[in-house]
Amino acid sequence: MDFVKKLSSKNFFVFNLVLLGILFGFVLALSCTRGGSKAQAQENQTVVIPQDALSAAENLQTAFRAISDRVLPSVVELKTVSVRRQPVPNFNGIPWEFFFGDPDSGEGREREFRSQGLGSGIIVRRVNGGGSKPSTYYVLTNHHVVGDATEIYIALNDGTEYPAELIGKDERKDLAMVSFQCSDDLPLAVLGDSDTVMVGDWAIAIGNPLGFMSSMTMGIVSAVGRTGGPAGNINDFIQTDTAINQGNSGGALVNIRGEVIGINTWIASSSGGGSVGLGFAIPINNAKRSIDEFINTGEISYGWLGVSLTDPDRDIIQGLNLSGKRGALVSQMFLGSPAEKGGIQPGDFITALNGKEVRGMNQLTLMVGDLKPGERVSFSVIRDGAPRDLTVRIEARSNEVAAENSKLWPGVYVVPITDTIRKSLSLDSKIEGLYVGQVISRSPAAVMGLARQDIITSINGERVRDIASFYRILREKANREIWFDLQRGDSTLETPKYKR
């Protein structure tokens, strides 16, 4: 009986153990089945992209591919070699080369140094050679790309290289043109209208950044009308966040239609020259006339008005009653210049040229430079608070005449006396006049002995109380001769008379 009980207890334990194993296996199988079904369901699930969104993205991608196909063949790589010669350095009259295996080196011997440069360019014109002669292609690029290169080579999109010749260059606009000959039928860049470019437009840069040929980057137009380019560049630039790096200079900035709207020229960077989304391009409209002049004459001619312009500060704007006005102030004028012949005088505030609004000094400089010598144009000015129109016949700009300070009238930059100036000079509160900020060397003002920090108290005996009276007296009483009364430190003095 005890044996039976023991057997029954043992059988019951085994039965429970088997039952537990079956249950565990069933649960495990069920779990695996459910997990497998879930994984299979995930594998069978399809990500659905809205068809309209996909179509828009594919259309945009197609557009960019078409732009690449259209523009890349017309953008080339420029490789330059500059050769300069320098005297071999010496130590106590003995050339350094004497110490390094060249005892025949003579004093005064020169060594040749070769440096290589890299940039981009745009094929803009073709002149057919006729018959079996190759065609001549003209490439627009930046002045700083070719510089003083003695050797220039053009590399096409397919890597083929040709020797090139410098046709002309212009440092003021940072433009240059080279040519090369080729028997193949190469595509020309399509030039757009940069005057229609607006902030937010697509902007695509094509060039050879860091030597990576035929690179294409994309962004938008960040701003237009930017000024202050390097080395006195007078262009009003298109700003873009499109990635631009060294080697892009001279390459194309194009719109969504594949039309060239700018020439990539410089970047602003805090990372040692790398792109940080601040790229600047010369508007193509600034270069269109230059293309013809480079090909026809090899140089650029500029219109000349004969004035020195400034963007007046707040104190001068208030003193001339120009609040809310946009334009450029004529601070100096060249005697005998087109400006003087046309009636423009120092103190005139130019607001428009041929009816087009003037936004500032740099823009007006560019507008005048693009005028043709001999052209008669209309200037809208504000003088003594009243508007008037003056007609001027533009002449050709000469670097020699533009640098002739002896004719720059009156040759002194003045500003109202502020509390800061009065305190720094310890001026008596009763002293009225204008503070001399700068005197131009060899100008009439310099000849009369004016100096920086002088206070002009009168002109030709008439009191100068503010900036408006300063320019009015210059116009009305200084046509033939002029002299100034000055406060210099604790002394008062009168300048010699200057006859115009």
Catalytic residue list contains 249: yes
Token look-up 């043709």 returns: 372
List 174, 236, 466, 485, catalytic entry: 174
Pairwise CA distance, residues 360 & 163, whole Å = 42
Catalytic residue list contains 143: no
Catalytic residue list contains 144: yes
List 74, 105, 120, 144, catalytic entry: 144
Let me know: does 95 contact 110? Beta carbons within 8 Å: no
Let me know: does 149 contact 80? Beta carbons within 8 Å: yes
Token look-up 């153990």 returns: 17
List 74, 214, 249, 469, catalytic entry: 249
Q: Residue 176 — φ and ψ, nearest 5°? A: -155, 160
Sign of CA dihedral 391, 356, 310, 304: negative
Pairwise CA distance, residues 255 & 243, whole Å = 15
Cβ-Cβ contacts under 8 Å for 64 (sequence gap 6 or more): 204, 216, 218
- Strand-pairing partners, residue 164, are 152
164 closest CA partner among 148, 151, 175: 151
| Helix, strand or coil, per DSSP, at residue 184 | coil
Cβ-Cβ contacts under 8 Å for 343 (sequence gap 6 or more): 390, 392
Token look-up 């040692």 returns: 272
Q: How many residues does the chain have?
A: 500
* DSSP class of 105: P
SS (H, E, C) 120-158: EEEEEEEECCCCCCCEEEEEEECHHHHCCCCEEEEECCC
Structure tokens at 203: 């902007």
Residues catalogued as catalytic: 144, 174, 249
